[in-house]
Amino acid sequence: MKSLLIAFVSVILGSDIVQAHPGHDDQEPLEYVNFPFQPAYRGPSGEVTADAIFSGITTFAKLPWVQCLGKERHVPFDIAFIGAPFDTGTSYRPGARFGPAGIREGSRRLTLYGGYNVPLNVNPFKSGLEIVDCGDIPVTPYDNKWAIHQIEEGHKSLLHRKAFSPLGNDSVTGERLSPITLDGVNHPRVITLGGDHTIVLPLLRSIHSIYGPISVIHFDSHLDTWKPSIFGGAPSPQASINHGTYFYWASQEGLINNGTSIASIFRHGAIRTTLSGPEDYEQDDLSGFKRVEAREIDTIGTDGIIKRIRETVGDGPVYLSIDIDSIDPAFAPATGTPETGGWSTRELRTILRGLDGLHIVSADIVEVAPAYDTNAELTTMAAADVLFEVLSVMAKTPLGKVAKPPKN
Ligand SMILES: *[C@@H]1O[C@H](CO)[C@@H](O)[C@H](O)[C@H]1NC(C)=O
Ligand SMILES: *[C@@H]1O[C@H](CO)[C@@H](O)[C@H](O)[C@H]1NC(C)=O
């Protein structure tokens, strides 16, 4: 029965090919839609089949895999996905080292019908940008100090390259755009798949080397600006850098632009954790952050939160860090330190789309620990879909500015 069906289908497809393109064996039938990144297979009898979304080797959104840190380091790109499988800075549930693999698994359907983002009116996969999956940065699980060094080096190696596409001209004024980097070179963007949140310290060190002190948008249910003496850091210099203190260190090192960074928390951005006391907010202020609390969504809504974020960061370069625990554990249970009372996946996606037009120079999603997920892969799907919004916003806004005309 099965072989009969295949024979029947191949007769139909085969005859279509012959009729549509007589003598052009290299062409695909007109009815065949080439979805992005799904290689087509032409069988011995001539029929063409797209690779199914559930088959093949899993990269983010089935993007092409480029060995950016290895033998293909000269292949240029505009946006790179890279994993940082590090979770030895975690205070509660470990397991985010499997985050990159899990998020890729959860992203398989992103390009099923091509990847067009309806509300943002863009298909990032067909925007002309070269977008690739670089695999993972090799990270040791035995030595945090060395691992943090490896993550910084790996990120820098990608970020310091020249972007594949030219910046082009401003869509409003038509004038030529120039890079917003310190060195005047148009560098690519990197989207990092964590890993626990500690990885943001080495990522911001890398960002600093290209952009200087940067505004940060931080979605999290926790502040992560805790002093090491409060958050587990007392035993040793190694212990003082962990997933609750990395923003404290980033601020101390001058990596964050004080006053123009915002944390949407359940303690930052989507902030909602319990605190050691009100002084935790004082330390957060000192680290340069303004806050929107998760519960404020009930009063000011997603529009109000978007407005607060945009007012705070302005239109300069901004780094975006998303802890999956900003989403409620009902929607994203597989995370290191879950907090109830969070946003829905829909709410976070709406807020991210509201960042349209901001100059997001790079981004990450962290604390996805797939071992605690449901069989339905809720958390890894949520992480992948959240990144789809980030990618769409990036694809719409080139990292350039129009040079101010000289005054006569
Ligand atoms: C871009 O702008 C430059 C000058 O600002 C102009 O010379 C060039 O023709 C523009 N290119 C396009 C495609 O509009
Ligand atoms: C932000 O403030 C902290 C002190 O609270 C300081 O150490 C850091 O250098 C400042 N960052 C910048 C970019 O000025």
pLDDT tens digits for 62-102? 999 999 999 999 999 999 999 999 999 999 999 999 999 99
Residues ≥6 apart with Cβ < 8 Å to 388? 61, 107, 110, 115, 117, 124
pLDDT value at residue 35: 61
Per the CB < 8 A criterion, the answer to whether 111 and 62 are in contact is yes
User: Which atom of ligand 2 lies closest to the CA of 257?
Assistant: 13
Peptide bond into 400 cis (omega under 30): no
Query: What value does the mean pLDDT take over residues 368-381?
Result: 97
Q: Kindly report, residue by residue over 198-216, the tens digit of the pLDDT.
A: 999 999 999 999 999 999 9
pLDDT-derived band of residue 278, with 50, 70 and 90 as boundaries? confident
pLDDT value at residue 1: 40
Average pLDDT along the chain: 87
> Does position 124 have pLDDT exceeding 70, yes or no?
yes
pLDDT value at residue 56: 81
What ligand is nearest to the CA atom of residue 403?
A: 1
Peptide bond into 194 cis (omega under 30): no
Name the percent of the chain lying above pLDDT 90: 68
pLDDT-derived band of residue 234, with 50, 70 and 90 as boundaries? confident
pLDDT value at residue 54: 84
Q: Which residue lies with its CA nearest to atom 5 of ligand 2?
A: 286
| Ligand 2 near 285 CB (within 6 A) | no
Name the percent of the chain lying above pLDDT 70: 86
Q: Which residues line ligand 1 (CB under 6 A)?
A: 169, 174-176
Q: Which residue lies with its CA nearest to atom 14 of ligand 2?
A: 254
E strand or H helix at 317: strand 317-323
For 9, the token pair is 């289908």
pLDDT-derived band of residue 387, with 50, 70 and 90 as boundaries? very high
The owner of tokens 């790079």 is: 362
| Ligand 2 near 59 CB (within 6 A) | no
> Does position 114 have pLDDT exceeding 60, yes or no?
yes
User: Which atom of ligand 2 lies closest to the CA of 258?
Assistant: 1
pLDDT value at residue 403: 76
> Does position 235 have pLDDT exceeding 80, yes or no?
yes
pLDDT-derived band of residue 267, with 50, 70 and 90 as boundaries? very low
Q: How far apart are CA 165 and CA 163, in angstroms?
A: 6
The domain locations on the chain are 9-50, 60-402
The owner of tokens 């958050």 is: 231
pLDDT value at residue 59: 94
Per the CB < 8 A criterion, the answer to whether 329 and 158 are in contact is no
What ligand is nearest to the CA atom of residue 168?
A: 1
Coil vs helix vs strand at 126? helix
Q: To test ligand 1's pocket by mutation, which of 165, 167, 169, 404 has the most ligand atoms within 8 angstroms of CB?
A: 169
Query: What value does the mean pLDDT take over residues 150-168?
Result: 97
Q: Kindly report, residue by residue over 16-75, the tens digit of the pLDDT.
A: 333 444 455 555 555 555 566 666 677 788 777 777 788 888 999 999 999 999 999 999
DSSP string, 49-81: EEPPTTSS---GGGPPB--TTTTTTT---SEEE
DSSP string, 240-298: TSSTTTHHHHHHHTT-B-TTSEEEEEETBEEEB---S-THHHHHHHHTTEEEEEGGGHH
pLDDT-derived band of residue 291, with 50, 70 and 90 as boundaries? confident
CATH superfamily of domain region 60-402? Ureohydrolase domain (3.40.800.10)
Query: What value does the mean pLDDT take over residues 122-126?
Result: 94
pLDDT-derived band of residue 273, with 50, 70 and 90 as boundaries? low
